Amino acid sequence: MNEKLETLLERMHSLEKEIVREMQRKEAEFFYEVRQGKIRFTAEARAQHKRLMKRFTSYIRDSRFMILLTTPVIWACALPIALLDLFMVVYQGICFPIYGIPKVKRGDYIKLDRRHLAYLNWAEKFNCEYCGYANGVLACATEIAARTEQYWCPIKHALRMKSRHSRYRYFFEYGDAEGYRRQIEAVRRSFEDIKNDPDAQTTSATGT
């Protein structure tokens, strides 16, 4: 890893710490804290949330007809998402130990915590948890695919990409034939950042 890349990674880790500090500031601003994985609001905040909850009947009445009509389409996605979740668990459970790749923790990506918000009615909570699950599964699958790509084809693209997954920064430059042949086995097993830093498993960092 060259010196410039090391500097960029240090800056990235610094920004990650700043993000954590900002999240902690938001906890204080909205009167809650996270302790041992549990979310606790102050009594005053809970009371205010309950006052702001929209009753289910009003929620339905105020929704546009076309939005309600698309609900079955949205929920039809639940089955393929759940199947993807299952297949990803089975896939990495079988393959990653053979490849020597650290497994992705589902719990680092799938967070179902919006049901604790008292200002949401039961329908809103149901929808929010579904969105959290669906996006969590897709994010987890992306990380599993990223680690797989690092093993099988860690080569950057020549064409510009709109976004990059967390492992992309470790890939070989496009066209670097000599480096690829000389270091491919080392890069395939280069997961020290994950093994040595548990927080790295939850970071969907942008590649360079």
Instruction: Kindly give the confidence (pLDDT) of every residue in the chain, 208 residues in length, as a single tens digit, with 9 standing for 90 and above.
Output: 567 767 777 777 777 777 766 666 655 556 565 666 677 777 777 777 777 788 888 878 888 888 888 899 999 999 999 999 999 999 999 999 999 999 999 999 999 988 888 889 989 999 999 999 999 999 999 999 999 999 999 999 999 989 899 999 999 999 999 999 999 999 999 998 887 765 544 443 434 3
Per DSSP, 206 falls in state P
3 state SS of 144: helix
pLDDT of 86-141, one tens digit each?
A: 999 999 999 999 999 999 999 999 999 888 888 899 899 999 999 999 999 999 99
pTM of the model: 0.75
* pLDDT score, position 198: 53
Which of 78, 58, 185, 183 is CA-nearest to residue 126? 78
Q: Are 170 and 186 in contact (CB under 8 A)?
A: no
CA atoms within 13 A on the CB side of 173: 7
